[in-house]
């Protein structure tokens, strides 16, 4: 791996999604079932937002009953995205600047994958240990 690695090489291609009209309860059940911390919200196949564990925890701490709430009422939007040919360093900078931990990879409005903070930390470690990276 080099600093020219692009997101299409690093991303997870199977992205878990929900619809804006789905309930927060359904989204949380999916997150628990899949052992993930977010779902990308898509409308007619186009990514429009993200719902994270943090989004839901913040509302719960405020004393709000959110389980029956629609995802669209709680999701973070607009969505910060990246093209598949963005390099890993640019992705890190985009995430830092926007204070986000997940970066959906989108081309022509189509969701291709997602890169997370953990993916990029692993990339940094592999680059730092090249040519003998630790096993993943």
| Domain hosting residue 79, numbered range | 7-129
Is 68 within the bounds of a domain? yes
- Number of structural domains (the chain) is 1
Does residue 136 form part of some domain? no
pLDDT, one tens digit per residue, over 69-116 is 999 999 999 999 999 999 999 999 999 999 999 999 999 999 999 999
CATH code for the domain in which residue 104 is found: 3.10.580.10
Q: What pLDDT does residue 59 have?
A: 86
Q: Is residue 52 part of a domain?
A: yes
Q: Does 80 fall in a domain?
A: yes
Q: Is 30 within a domain?
A: yes
DSSP string, 12-81: BS---EE-TTSBHHHHHHHHHHHT-SEEEEEETTEEEEEEEHHHHHHHHHTT---TTSBGGGTSB-SPP-
- Whole-prediction pTM value? 0.87
**CA 136 to each of CA 83, 121, 123: distance values in angstroms, whole numbers, following the listed order:** 25, 11, 10
């Amino acid at each position: 791996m080099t600093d020219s690695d692009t997101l299409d090489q690093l991303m997870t291609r199977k992205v878990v999604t929900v619809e804006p009209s789905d309930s927060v309860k359904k989204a949380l059940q999916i997150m628990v079932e899949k052992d993930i911390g977010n779902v990308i919200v898509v409308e007619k196949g186009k990514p429009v937002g993200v719902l994270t564990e943090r989004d839901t925890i913040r509302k719960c701490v405020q004393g709000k009953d959110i389980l029956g709430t629609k995802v669209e009422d709680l999701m973070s939007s607009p969505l910060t995205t990246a093209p598949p040919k963005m390099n890993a360093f640019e992705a890190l900078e985009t995430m830092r600047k926007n204070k986000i931990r997940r970066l959906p990879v989108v081309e022509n409005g189509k969701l291709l994958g997602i890169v997370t903070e953990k993916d990029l930390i692993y990339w940094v470690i592999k680059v730092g240990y090249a040519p003998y990276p630790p096993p993943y």
